[in-house]
């Protein structure tokens, strides 16, 4: 059975939209007539969401972190209760009141019923289910422990949602300050400074360097403001497109691991996800080499992913996990020591779980510190910029007063 989207008229002549499962469009129309509806249009959910051009692919349905966390938790609960994947998808789709989300879930269910894996079915919606999410699902399907993986993934997605909420709440004040700073600077440089400059120029006095520099900046922004804005937009789009090229992305991810603060956050996030997935797979009876190969696909940093692949080869040749990861040079010492302790005591799974929790806590703590510093930093920037502009205006006025005296 496939999922179909329909538009029909009810007895009052009003349009109704929804999603139905049926063997074909004819059956959908018959089901609508049985309900007393007059079908206007019927289309498959997959066709409605797929696109044939790169431009339209930007408009494919996306999924918020909150909805993704809820769906994952519901799927984990239902599959743990021994429901088949397709039945779990149907049940979850019936729980949501969002038509677009229901259509997406039913389209995924249709592909699963056609024989595709859940991972391949989710790949039709990359904006809703990112690579990291699909790689984790693939790990669960490969090992036969999809319920355990989904539960851990639900925990991770929910913690991600909570972290994003905290960040959004903490960013409200700095963003307001940033916007105010831009508006004030634009107003001063675009309207206030040019009017005052006329007075200074009429006096034919030599202007201080600070004032001359401010006038030059004001003239430059007035003449080239639109061009600068267009260049910024084009640059951002070009960088995003370049990062889709594998070699450039790998080089970018490698440099990212050497940037202060950013490197610690990136390493912490990736190692936590890697250790967590490896712990689940290894405790589920998956051989360590296979568990490393699957867990490596979960990493969002492509350079770290390559290093894990190299470490997997070394482990398959007889090297210990601790030594193989240590030779890469990118995994935290604390993680390596805990892995060594786990290998020596036979409690590697427990040590990996502790490592993942510790790394996640470190990342959250660092994020909280950075956000707490961001507000005062924006105040300093705004205050400093306004102070420079005010001083650039006052200096020639003070010099003019001295000449008059």
Listed in sequence order, the residues at least 6 apart from 146 whose beta carbon sits closer than 8 Å to its beta carbon are: 79, 85, 118, 137, 140
Name the residue with higher pLDDT: 115 or 304.
304
Nearest-angstrom CA–CA distance, 213 and 199? 17
Q: What is the CATH number of the domain that holds 311?
A: 1.20.81.30
165-220, pLDDT tens digit by residue?
777 777 787 788 778 877 877 777 777 767 776 666 666 667 778 877 877 877 78
**Confidence tier at 233 by pLDDT (50, 70, 90):** very high
Closest to 76 in 3D by CA, of 154, 159, 143, 160: 154
In a shared domain, residues 290 and 356: yes
In a shared domain, residues 40 and 109: no
- Is residue 397 scored above 50 in pLDDT? yes
Listed in sequence order, the residues at least 6 apart from 169 whose beta carbon sits closer than 8 Å to its beta carbon are: none
| Residue 369 burial class via C-beta count within 10 angstroms: exposed 0-12, middle 13-18, buried 19 and up | exposed
Asked whether residue 137 is assigned to any structural domain, the reply reads yes
Is the sign of the CA dihedral 222, 226, 232, 238 positive or negative?
Answer: negative
In a shared domain, residues 50 and 69: no
248-301, pLDDT tens digit by residue?
988 988 888 888 878 888 888 888 878 877 887 777 667 888 888 878 877 888
Helices 85-95, 65-80: inter-axial angle, 10-degree rounding = 130
- Is residue 234 scored above 90 in pLDDT? yes
13-68, pLDDT tens digit by residue?
677 777 776 666 777 777 888 887 877 777 765 544 444 344 444 445 677 778 88
Choosing from 57, 83, 99, the residue where a domain stops is 57
Choosing from 158, 178, 210, the residue where a domain stops is 158
In a shared domain, residues 83 and 52: no
Expressed as residue numbers, the domain containing 17 is: 2-57
Q: What is the CATH number of the domain that holds 35?
A: 3.10.20
Q: pLDDT at position 45, please? A: 59
Q: pLDDT at position 53, please? A: 40
Domain count, the chain: 3
287-333, pLDDT tens digit by residue?
888 888 878 877 888 898 899 999 999 999 888 889 998 888 888 88
Mean pLDDT over the full length of the chain: 79
In a shared domain, residues 114 and 35: no
Asked whether residue 180 is assigned to any structural domain, the reply reads no
Is the sign of the CA dihedral 340, 346, 352, 357 positive or negative?
Answer: negative
Asked whether residue 390 is assigned to any structural domain, the reply reads no
In a shared domain, residues 22 and 49: yes
In a shared domain, residues 42 and 104: no
Exposure string over 200-233, b if 16+ CB within 10 A, otherwise e:
beeeeeebbebbeebbeebeeeeeeeeeeeeeee
- Is residue 79 scored above 60 in pLDDT? yes
Closest to 37 in 3D by CA, of 55, 21, 13: 13
Task: Provide φ and ψ at 78, rounded to 5°.
Answer: -70, -40
Asked whether residue 293 is assigned to any structural domain, the reply reads yes
Asked whether residue 238 is assigned to any structural domain, the reply reads no
In a shared domain, residues 259 and 331: yes
In a shared domain, residues 87 and 106: yes
Task: Provide φ and ψ at 144, rounded to 5°.
Answer: 80, 15
Lowest mean pLDDT among 77-86, 243-252, 357-366: 357-366
Q: pLDDT at position 236, please? A: 92
Q: pLDDT at position 51, please? A: 40
Choosing from 132, 158, 184, the residue where a domain stops is 158
Asked whether residue 149 is assigned to any structural domain, the reply reads yes
In a shared domain, residues 20 and 107: no
- Is residue 112 scored above 60 in pLDDT? yes
Asked whether residue 287 is assigned to any structural domain, the reply reads yes
Name the residue with higher pLDDT: 135 or 57.
135
Q: pLDDT at position 48, please? A: 41
Q: pLDDT at position 205, please? A: 64
With left for phi above 0 and alpha for psi between -120 and 50, is residue 36 left, alpha or beta?
Answer: left
In a shared domain, residues 27 and 98: no
Asked whether residue 183 is assigned to any structural domain, the reply reads no
In a shared domain, residues 261 and 340: yes
Contact 307, 250 (CB under 8 A): no
């Amino acid at each position: 059975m496939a999922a179909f989207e329909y538009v029909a008229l009810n007895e009052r002549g009003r349009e109704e939209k929804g999603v139905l499962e049926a063997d074909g469009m004819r059956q959908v129309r018959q089901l609508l007539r049985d309900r007393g509806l007059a079908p206007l249009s019927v289309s498959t959910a997959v066709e409605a969401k797929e696109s044939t051009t790169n431009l339209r692919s930007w408009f494919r349905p996306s999924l918020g972190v909150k909805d993704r966390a809820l769906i994952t938790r519901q799927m984990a609960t239902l599959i743990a209760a021994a429901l088949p994947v397709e039945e779990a998808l149907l049940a979850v789709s019936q729980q949501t009141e969002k038509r677009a989300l229901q259509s997406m879930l039913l389209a995924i269910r249709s592909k699963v019923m056609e024989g595709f894996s859940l991972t391949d079915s989710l790949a039709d919606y990359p904006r809703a289910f990112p690579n990291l999410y699909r790689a984790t699902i693939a790990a669960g399907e490969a090992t036969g422990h999809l319920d355990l993986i989904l539960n851990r993934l639900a925990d991770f997605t929910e913690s991600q949602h909570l972290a994003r909420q905290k960040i959004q709440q903490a960013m409200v004040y700095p963003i307001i300050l940033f916007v105010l700073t831009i508006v004030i600077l634009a107003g001063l440089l675009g309207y206030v400074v040019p009017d005052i400059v006329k007075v200074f120029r009429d006096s034919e006095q030599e202007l201080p360097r600070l004032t001359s520099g401010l006038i030059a900046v004001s003239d430059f922004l007035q003449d080239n403001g639109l061009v600068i804005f267009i260049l910024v937009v084009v640059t951002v789009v070009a960088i995003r497109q370049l990062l889709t090229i594998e070699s450039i992305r790998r080089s970018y991810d490698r440099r990212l691991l050497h940037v202060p603060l950013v490197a610690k956050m990136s390493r912490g996030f990736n190692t936590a996800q890697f250790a967590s997935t490896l712990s689940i797979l290894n405790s589920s009876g998956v051989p360590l080499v296979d568990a490393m190969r699957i867990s490596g696909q979960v990493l969002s940093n492509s350079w770290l992913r390559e290093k894990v692949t190299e470490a997997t080869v070394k482990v398959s040749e007889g090297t210990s996990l601790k030594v193989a990861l240590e030779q890469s040079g990118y995994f935290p010492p604390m993680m390596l020591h805990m892995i060594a302790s786990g290998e020596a005591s036979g409690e590697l799974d427990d040590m990996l779980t502790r490592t993942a929790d510790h790394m996640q806590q470190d990342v959250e703590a660092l994020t909280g510190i950075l956000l707490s510093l961001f507000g005062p930093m924006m105040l300093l920037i705004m205050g400093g910029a306004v102070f420079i502009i005010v001083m650039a205006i006052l200096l020639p006025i003070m010099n003019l007063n001295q000449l008059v005296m």
